[in-house]
Amino acid sequence: MTVDELTLTGERADLLAALGKARHFLRFTTRDLTDEQAATRPTASQLCLGGLIKHVTEVERGWAAFILEGPSAMGDVTEVTPELVEQRTREFRLLPGETLAGVLAAYEEVARRTDDLVARLPDLDATQPLPSAPWFEPGARWSARAVLMHIVAETAQHAGHADILRETIDGAKSMG
């Protein structure tokens, strides 16, 4: 059975609804754009719409893997190196050879897998230790629920960024 065929209620339905709404607004900001527009960085930030989709895809993919595999899925970061900064910078850009359609398709696949995970995960209270990184409290653990709420928050935050970028590109708004 697919997630669409399952009848979810309660917390899982609420998590999927919140995530679905945030994803919708993020994707909606890219409607009718060319690859060139999706790669444009129209504000003082280095963000572009295609890069935001790529970033959110990788964030969701990584955190879903964390729920299943623990901190090894994300790797430890002992220090912020120039290589790590470059990797993150590339994640926020639509690179040569990448297309908006391609990053949206990858996002759709990751979203489908995450939705399936939410529907089938035996225990939302199950915890994993966070990987070592300067931005995580040492020894902290997150439940699957906390991870999913983080994915919702991250997606919604970047949907807001995307809305500003889109309005700057051509005046189109996601709401209003």
Look at strands 141-143 and 127-129 and give their pairing: antiparallel
Residue 132 and residue 130: Cα distance in Å, rounded? 7
Question: Which whole-number Å values give the CA distances from 29 to 4, 137, 175, in the listed order?
Answer: 24, 34, 10
Tokens standing for residue 18 = 């919140």
Residue 176 and residue 163: Cα distance in Å, rounded? 11
Local confidence band at 140 (pLDDT 50, 70, 90 cut-offs): very high
Q: What is the average pLDDT across 60-69? A: 97
Tokens standing for residue 75 = 């790797």
pLDDT value of position 94: 93
The yes-or-no verdict on residue 106 having pLDDT over 90 is yes
The more confidently predicted of residues 79 and 147 is 147
Given a contact cutoff of 8 angstroms between Cβ atoms, the answer to whether 16 and 8 are in contact is yes
pLDDT value of position 6: 60
pLDDT value of position 119: 94
Average pLDDT, the chain: 92
Residue 93 and residue 41: Cα distance in Å, rounded? 9
Q: How far apart are the first and last CA of the chain?
A: 37
DSSP helix/strand/coil, 127: strand
The yes-or-no verdict on residue 124 having pLDDT over 80 is yes
Identify the structural domains of the chain with CATH numbers, from first to last.
Answer: 3-170 (1.20.120.450)
Structure-token match 């999927």, residue found: 16
Share of the chain above pLDDT 90, in %: 77
pLDDT value of position 76: 76
Local confidence band at 155 (pLDDT 50, 70, 90 cut-offs): very high
The yes-or-no verdict on residue 134 having pLDDT over 90 is no
Given a contact cutoff of 8 angstroms between Cβ atoms, the answer to whether 161 and 52 are in contact is yes
The yes-or-no verdict on residue 34 having pLDDT over 70 is yes
Question: Which whole-number Å values give the CA distances from 3 to 16, 32, 115, 121, in the listed order?
Answer: 10, 28, 7, 12
